[in-house]
Chains A and B, each alone.
Chain A
Amino acid sequence: MARGLRIRVDYDRCVGSRLCVLTAPGVFRINERGQSSVIDPAAAEETTVLQAAEGCPTMAITVEDADTGERLFPPPGAPV
Chain B
Amino acid sequence: MKSLSPRLPQVKAQPEGRPRSRQPGCIMRALHSTSKGRGRAMLVQDDLMAPEVIRDPYTYYARLRESDPVHWNARWQGWLVTRYDDAVAVLRAPEAFSSDRMASLAQELTEADREKLALLITYFSKWLVFTDPPYHTRVRMLVNKAFTPVSVERLRPRVRQIVDALLAGVEPRRHMEFIRDFAFHLPVIVISEYMGVPVEDREQVKEWSDETSRIFFIRANEPDRRERSQKGLQKLLEYFEPLVYDRRRHPRDDLITALVQAEERGDLLSHEEVLATCTVLLFAGHETTTNLLANGLLAFTQHRDQWELLQRQPDLIRPAVEELLRYDGPVKATFRWARREVEVGGKTIREGDRMLVVLGSANRDPRKFANPDDLDITRTPNPHLAFGYGIHICLGAPMARLEAQEAFLALARRFPTIRLAVEPEGLEYHPTIIARALQALPVEW
Interface residues of B in 135-172 (CB under 8 A from A): 137, 140-141, 144-145, 147-150, 153
Give the contact stretch, choosing among B33-41, B124-132, B243-251, B383-391.
Answer: B383-391
Q: How far is the CA of A22 from the CA of B139 in the complex (A)?
A: 12
Q: How far is the CA of A34 from the CA of B95 in the complex (A)?
A: 12
Q: Mark A52-79, 1 if CB is under 8 A from B, else 0.
A: 0011111100000000000000110011
B398 on the A face (CB < 8 A): yes
Q: How far is the CA of A58 from the CA of B401 in the complex (A)?
A: 11
- Among B93, B150, B318, B389: residue with most chain A CB under 10 A: B150
Q: Mark A11-28, 1 if CB is under 8 A from B, else 0.
A: 011011111001100000
How many pairs, one residue from A and one from B, have CB atoms within 8 Å of each other in the complex? 63
Q: 3 closest pairs, A vs B, by CB?
A: A34-B92, A12-B381, A16-B92
B176 on the A face (CB < 8 A): no
A-binding residues in B (CB < 8 A): 88, 92-93, 137, 140-141, 144-145, 147-150, 153, 318, 381, 383, 387-391, 393-395, 397-398, 401-402
Q: Smallest distance from the beta carbon of A56 to chain B beta carbons, Å?
A: 7
Q: Are B149 and A59 in contact (CB under 8 A)?
A: yes
Q: Mark A25-63, 1 if CB is under 8 A from B, else 0.
A: 000000000100000000000000000001111110000
Query: Could you list 6 A-B pairs, sorted by A, with CB under 8 Å?
Result: A16-B389, A16-B390, A19-B140, A23-B141, A57-B144, A79-B149
Q: Are A79 and B318 in contact (CB under 8 A)?
A: yes
- Among B137, B144, B389: residue with most chain A CB under 10 A: B144
- Among A58, A74, A75, A79: residue with most chain B CB under 10 A: A79
Q: Provide the residues of chain A in CB contact with B398, threshold 8 Å.
A: 57, 79
Q: Provide the residues of chain A in CB contact with B395, threshold 8 Å.
A: 57
Q: Provide the residues of chain A in CB contact with B137, threshold 8 Å.
A: 18, 22
Q: Are B390 and A55 in contact (CB under 8 A)?
A: no
* Chain B minimum-CB-distance residue to A10: B381
Q: How far is the CA of A4 from the CA of B369 in the complex (A)?
A: 38
Q: Provide the residues of chain A in CB contact with B401, threshold 8 Å.
A: 79
Q: Are A16 and B391 in contact (CB under 8 A)?
A: yes
- With A16-B390, A75-B150 as contacts: A57 and B381 at CB distance below 8 Å: no
Q: How far is the CA of A79 from the CA of B150 in the complex (A)?
A: 7
Q: Smallest distance from the beta carbon of A57 to chain B beta carbons, Å?
A: 5
Q: How far is the CA of A13 from the CA of B145 in the complex (A)?
A: 19
Q: Are A57 and B92 in contact (CB under 8 A)?
A: no
Q: Are A15 and B149 in contact (CB under 8 A)?
A: no
- With A57-B395, A74-B150 as contacts: A17 and B390 at CB distance below 8 Å: yes
* Chain B minimum-CB-distance residue to A73: B150
Q: Smallest distance from the beta carbon of A18 to chain B beta carbons, Å?
A: 6
Q: Provide the residues of chain B in CB contact with A23, threshold 8 Å.
A: 141
Q: How far is the CA of A80 from the CA of B153 in the complex (A)?
A: 11
